[in-house]
Chain A
């Protein structure tokens, strides 16, 4: 079975502080990490590989530094890694990224299963899975919490309405996984060494993929950035539990919030 995992590298959200009162975003530490949803997708693919023989290939559309994310994927257990990087890809929006990934997957000879994160940690739009499925012409299962693949069928438990549903689909399928359901494994030390010393990340650009600029023009433009209202500052109450409780109950009663 051939499993392809599109992954993404993002600016580490832990290095970002948002000041609502100053209406600014401060990047304290510019560090790029493998996005947690992508990590979960790699983990989901590797669990399928543990169950039955499979080839897991990681793909990423990004700047040259995304190579680190792909090496992390190799260290975790992926068998191959491809970086799709080109100046023309830099302002690609999600529909263009889907086209780029689809072109790369076609060039790799298609896949039985494409496993992606449900939504990324930065924008959280959650569009790439279904868009990629459409671009490839595969069927799709989103928001999966458990996966099993056998006899050319994928079985998934997914979130649906107010509960979960079991979904069966014949391969090829694009599936997106919930990050919470697949906590990622730690890579083996030797694999981390090999990921940097032995194994290669193959880099493809627009000409390799046969894409031209018309495919890549962004459809969505950002109009403005705004900030939620600064948090209100309330009243502090402290002291003996009984007196505090009476004070709180009294003030809630005065405001007619409780009877």
Chain B
């Protein structure tokens, strides 16, 4: 019998490329940690919490990666927040953020260790670095996620992010390329409690940094203000942690009206915030703006005085537990979504409330 056809078939079989399944050889969840002024940023801790959850679901380890100058101790504190392994790269040249150097170091580390998922907090640094790194690794990036989950059947990271000013959520995945990258919006996830029993030793990354001539020169100074910009004052209390927030909008009329809002905030022991209109009027600082491009807050009580409450504003207070709106315009959008909508002039209602609070 002629079995030559078998030889042909075997040859053909041998010549076949091995099936390269997506994600083959890629394991573990990484967090690009960020520290400033000697502490890990809250956004980094929140990202660690998410990384731990995802890693537990797919049964892999969590790696924390930290770059900087003398950051070893900080890196090792990541263990308490859920890291199983910590990679630290220390060099005086990393004291200031350099996009090219950071992208190169992360790129090399990723190629060497092949993480399956790489999470980056969507801070100024993260938003600058993550897309550059994704392009370098030729992989996809899901930006500004407010929810992360895993599709266990395909072992895919699904990231949900707001589009159209928060009116619609899109959920996307990166099915082929690895690692799967996502940036996480700050203050949308809960930071884990540190577990003091978890500790470990960071693995130091051997850097062979060459002279970088095209690097950025940073000057951090109070004087660094864009023309027409206002000084940035750190809030006494982190807005995202405030329990009671009293917020002013253009409807307060003038500075006297805004003074009433201040008094109300004082009487309730709360923080002052406002809409973009209040910022434009010069009543509040930029970090007190609530909404898209400003603060996302989750107070127990939010009182909106003279704010019409467009979607951009509402998006910042979706997590508020109880909303009181005081507005003379009955048809203002915020009146529809407040738990108590007071139809009336805020300049008259607030003094009356102050009086009622004194009783």
Question: Is B220 close to A, CB under 8 A?
Answer: yes
Task: Tell me, in angstroms, the Cα distance from A227 to B127 when the chains sit together.
Answer: 25
- Sorted from nearest, which 5 A-B pairs have the closest CB atoms? A245-B352, A219-B140, A145-B226, A130-B132, A127-B131
Question: A228–B167 contact, CB under 8 A?
Answer: yes
B161, B167, B343 pick with most chain A CB within 10 angstroms: B167
Query: B residues within 8 A CB of A204?
Result: none
Question: B172–A143 contact, CB under 8 A?
Answer: no
Question: B219–A146 contact, CB under 8 A?
Answer: no
Given A98-B135, A165-B224, A248-B324, check contact A18 B356 (CB 8 Å): no
Question: Is A80 close to B, CB under 8 A?
Answer: no
> How far apart are A141's CB and chain B's nearest CB, in angstroms?
7
Tell me which residues from 71 to 106 in chain B have a Cβ below 8 Å from any Cβ of chain A.
99-100, 103
Question: B103–A225 contact, CB under 8 A?
Answer: no
Given A139-B216, A238-B342, check contact A222 B124 (CB 8 Å): no
Given A221-B173, A231-B337, check contact A143 B127 (CB 8 Å): yes
Task: Tell me, in angstroms, the Cα distance from A169 to B161 when the chains sit together.
Answer: 32
Tell me which residues from 315 to 353 in chain B have a Cβ below 8 Å from any Cβ of chain A.
318, 322-324, 330, 335-345, 348-353
Question: B343–A134 contact, CB under 8 A?
Answer: no
Of the A-B pairs whose beta carbons lie under 8 Å apart in the complex, a sample of 23, sorted by A's number, is A124-B143, A134-B133, A139-B214, A140-B99, A146-B226, A161-B124, A163-B224, A222-B170, A224-B170, A224-B171, A225-B168, A226-B160, A227-B168, A228-B166, A228-B167, A231-B336, A233-B337, A234-B339, A234-B340, A241-B349, A251-B340, A252-B322, A258-B301
Question: A130–B129 contact, CB under 8 A?
Answer: yes
> How far apart are A249's CB and chain B's nearest CB, in angstroms?
4
Query: B residues within 8 A CB of A159?
Result: 124
Query: A residues within 8 A CB of B128?
Result: 130, 140, 142-143
Query: A residues within 8 A CB of B135?
Result: 95, 98, 130-131, 134-135
Query: A residues within 8 A CB of B353?
Result: 245, 248-249
Binding stretch for chain A, among B12-20, B49-57, B58-66, B227-235: B227-235
Question: A164–B226 contact, CB under 8 A?
Answer: yes
> How far apart are A238's CB and chain B's nearest CB, in angstroms?
4
Question: Is B184 close to A, CB under 8 A?
Answer: no
Interface residues of A toward B: which range?
35 or more
Question: B143–A127 contact, CB under 8 A?
Answer: yes
> How far apart are B202's CB and chain A's nearest CB, in angstroms?
24
Task: Tell me, in angstroms, the Cα distance from A224 to B151 when the chains sit together.
Answer: 13
> How far apart are A219's CB and chain B's nearest CB, in angstroms?
3
DSSP class of A's interface residues: helix, strand, loop or mixed?
mixed
Question: Is B225 close to A, CB under 8 A?
Answer: yes
Given A125-B143, A131-B135, A223-B172, check contact A238 B344 (CB 8 Å): yes
Complex partner residue of B173 from A16, A142, A223, A233, CB under 8 angstroms: A223
Interface string of A163-197 (1 = CB under 8 A from B): 11111111000000000110000000000000000
Binding stretch for chain A, among B24-32, B108-116, B174-182, B253-261: B174-182
Query: A residues within 8 A CB of B165?
Result: 13
Tell me which residues from 86 to 110 in chain A have a Cβ below 8 Å from any Cβ of chain B.
93-95, 98
Question: A258–B341 contact, CB under 8 A?
Answer: no
Question: B177–A225 contact, CB under 8 A?
Answer: no
Question: B134–A127 contact, CB under 8 A?
Answer: yes
Question: B132–A133 contact, CB under 8 A?
Answer: yes
Task: Tell me, in angstroms, the Cα distance from A248 to B163 when the chains sit together.
Answer: 35
> How far apart are B169's CB and chain A's nearest CB, in angstroms?
5
Question: Is A51 close to B, CB under 8 A?
Answer: no
Question: B341–A164 contact, CB under 8 A?
Answer: no
Tell me which residues from 209 to 259 in chain A have a Cβ below 8 Å from any Cβ of chain B.
219-228, 231-239, 241-242, 244-246, 248-252, 255, 257-258
Task: Tell me, in angstroms, the Cα distance from A141 to B337 when the chains sit together.
Answer: 39
Complex partner residue of A139 from B99, B123, B171, B355, CB under 8 angstroms: B99
Task: Tell me, in angstroms, the Cα distance from A33 to B129 when the chains sit together.
Answer: 29
Query: B residues within 8 A CB of A13?
Result: 164-165
Question: Is B272 close to A, CB under 8 A?
Answer: no
Question: Is A202 close to B, CB under 8 A?
Answer: no
Question: Is B142 close to A, CB under 8 A?
Answer: yes
Query: B residues within 8 A CB of A165?
Result: 218-221, 224
Question: B171–A160 contact, CB under 8 A?
Answer: no
Query: A residues within 8 A CB of B284?
Result: none
Task: Tell me, in angstroms, the Cα distance from A163 to B342 when the chains sit together.
Answer: 36
Question: Is A201 close to B, CB under 8 A?
Answer: no
Complex partner residue of A181 from B168, B221, B226, B330, CB under 8 angstroms: B226
Q: Which residue of B lies closest to A131 (CB)?
A: B135
Task: Tell me, in angstroms, the Cα distance from A130 to B135 when the chains sit together.
Answer: 8
Given A145-B226, A162-B287, A220-B173, check contact A134 B132 (CB 8 Å): yes
Query: B residues within 8 A CB of A236?
Result: 330, 335, 341, 343
Question: B134–A131 contact, CB under 8 A?
Answer: yes
A128, A131, A163, A251 pick with most chain B CB within 10 angstroms: A163
Question: B356–A249 contact, CB under 8 A?
Answer: yes
Question: A220–B131 contact, CB under 8 A?
Answer: no
Task: Tell me, in angstroms, the Cα distance from A164 to B342 when the chains sit together.
Answer: 39
Question: Is B36 close to A, CB under 8 A?
Answer: yes
> How far apart are A246's CB and chain B's nearest CB, in angstroms?
5
Q: Contacts A142-B128, A220-B174 given; 8 further ones with Cβ under 8 A?
A: A95-B135, A130-B130, A131-B134, A142-B124, A158-B124, A169-B214, A226-B168, A245-B356
Question: Is B138 close to A, CB under 8 A?
Answer: yes
Question: A95–B342 contact, CB under 8 A?
Answer: no
> How far apart are A259's CB and chain B's nearest CB, in angstroms?
8
Task: Tell me, in angstroms, the Cα distance from A164 to B227 when the chains sit together.
Answer: 12
Given A93-B140, A127-B141, A134-B135, check contact A241 B348 (CB 8 Å): yes
